[in-house]
Amino acid sequence: MMNQEWWRGAVIYQVYPRSFFDSNNDGIGDLPGVTQKMSYIASLGVDAIWLSPFFTSPMKDFGYDVSDYCDVDPIFGTLEDFDELIESAHHHGLKVMIDQVLNHSSDQHPWFVESRSSHDNGKADWYIWADANPDGTVPNNWLSVFGGPAWHWDSRRRQYYLHNFLDSQPDLNFHNPDVVDALLDTVEFWLKRGVDGFRLDTANYYYHDIELRNNPPKKEVVEGSIGVRLDNPYAYQLHIYDKSRPENIGFLQRLRSLLDKYPNTTTVGEVGCDFALETMAAYTQGKDKLHMCYSFDLLTHDASMTHIRNTMETIEAGLGDGWPCWSIGNHDVERVVTRWGNNHDAIAKSKIYMAMLLTLRGSVCLYQGEELGLPEAELTFDQLVDPFGIAFWPEFKGRDGCRTPIPWKNDIMGGFTQSTEAWLPIADSQRPLAVQEQEDNRHSVLHAYRDFLHVRRSHPELRHGDIEFLYNDETTLTFLRRDQDKCLYVGINTTNQDIILPVEFTLSALTLPEAIHSGYIDGNTVVLPPYSILLAKVTP
């Protein structure tokens, strides 16, 4: 953790502040609440935390619509509260990464307020403006992830502006060097306050095709990228002109140059596009762009081990000296126990999915509540606050179900707040899985996470080693992790049936903690009981 590549193989715990812990009893989680629970985060054995946005915002998209990049929204606290959070995290041996939402701002940001006021003001081209077609229609066929055209008519300028997400989130014009300079200044503001890195929201969206050419139709529509759902028209275009443009590379290089002035800092970029794995490789190769990227390839509904292996081998084939970061859950997708496990055998599946993720090659992002095995919260339409879910209900219920408050205690408000109402309801299905309940159960998902994170820390093969896949079917996966002269065999069974596999190696099984269901070696075979993992040293 003392070297400048602490991020390589690190485990990063994502905190969604609104739902972590409410310190002032207004029903909304805040930065002092995160600080109060810092010892809990440190107890998990993770290396860093990633804070979802806490900047000043009208909260149309819950912080991903920033109106001041250099201040804390009052609902979350103050800059002084943020400084105390940084100090506490560092005291606990944790790095702090924060979300940077650079692609777009809020329409209430002073930059946009000035930009929309006229055609000739000082920030007139800080956003992406275009004239209507002769018949008044939108400039091209680009679509918003949140539904409908990606263009919104502004009566002040009598032009359309581009928004890849909500129409209250206008896209910044990265083709303007003044915009790039201003955004990098905001990044440096937080570097000077002591942050250790950034998670870059929609990192491949920054540049658009300056000619505004139409996107072609997609020949094969599959789930995968941001917004790619078969009930969303966004899925039916090949997005080659509205994002993932070649000019993006130059900006990432400037960003890296800035971070290189601040030792021990890092970046992880969110990449959602039609060629996500190739883009991940391009953005992390050469040590002059991003340190890490993650895609949505493991955030889909495909939990097959064939998909896991294909994803890993595809990125490995093109990665070169780049580095991936993987997650199976975050604030934008259905919780993994529900998405992959259909809420059946939830405790056992939570443990084995965790073990799989933590043995793959790359860094890891864990989303708050995964360590508790939380299922997706079921909300009624009148309880929704997510504009994405409201727009696509009932086929898509939005992101509120994965954002409900963390249950710390098994009581009516989950120990999250002393208010009588939280910003999202405390899910009845989640309260029995509260932290306090699991602390007292040595076989709980929480203890399994802590134990396995300790195992990962003690084996450099799992943090830094190469990976070689051996066998898979839809539910079983085996591979090797090598680091210098050390080699581990990993066998994973995601079913409720015994799996018996022949092996050609001399293996010595590691003793795993009791919270983790372990496989074993029987002569020249590996036996994987239901929902188990085998870690074994390979003898040369």
Question: CA 533 to CA 540: how far, in whole Å?
Answer: 22
Contacts of 459 (CB under 8 A, 6+ apart): 481, 486, 488, 535
Question: CA 88 to CA 47: how far, in whole Å?
Answer: 14
Q: SS3 of 486, please? A: strand
- Please, are residues 4 and 320 in contact by the beta-carbon 8 Å criterion? no
> Is the sign of the CA dihedral 66, 68, 70, 76 positive or negative?
negative
Question: CA 368 to CA 280: how far, in whole Å?
Answer: 24
Written as six digits, the tokens of 127 are 């956003």
Cα separation values, 2 from 94, 184, 323, 375, Å:
11, 26, 19, 36
Estimate to the nearest angstrom the gap between the alpha carbon of 1 and the chain centroid: 22
| 201 part of the active site | yes
Query: What kind and span of H or E run contains 466?
Result: strand 466-472
DSSP 8-state assignment for residue 506: E
Q: Is 63 exposed, middle or buried (0-12, 13-18, 19+ CB in 10 A)?
A: buried
Query: What kind and span of H or E run contains 333?
Result: none
Peptide bond into 529 cis (omega under 30): no
Written as six digits, the tokens of 473 are 């079917």
> How many CB atoms are located within 10 Å of the residue 7 CB?
25
Q: SS3 of 38, please? A: helix
Q: Which one of the listed residues 81, 270, 371, 461 is annotated catalytic? A: 270
Question: CA 63 to CA 169: how far, in whole Å?
Answer: 11
Estimate to the nearest angstrom the gap between the alpha carbon of 67 and the chain centroid: 22
Question: CA 73 to CA 61: how far, in whole Å?
Answer: 14
For tokens 């990063």, name the residue.
12
Cα separation values, 308 from 282, 300, 313, 479, Å:
21, 11, 9, 12
User: Largest Cα–Cα distance in the chain?
Assistant: 79
Question: CA 116 to CA 433: how far, in whole Å?
Answer: 49
Q: Which one of the listed residues 65, 201, 297, 334 is annotated catalytic? A: 201
The number of residues making up the chain comes to 540
Written as six digits, the tokens of 195 are 């942050």
| 270 part of the active site | yes
Q: Which residues are catalytic?
A: 201, 270
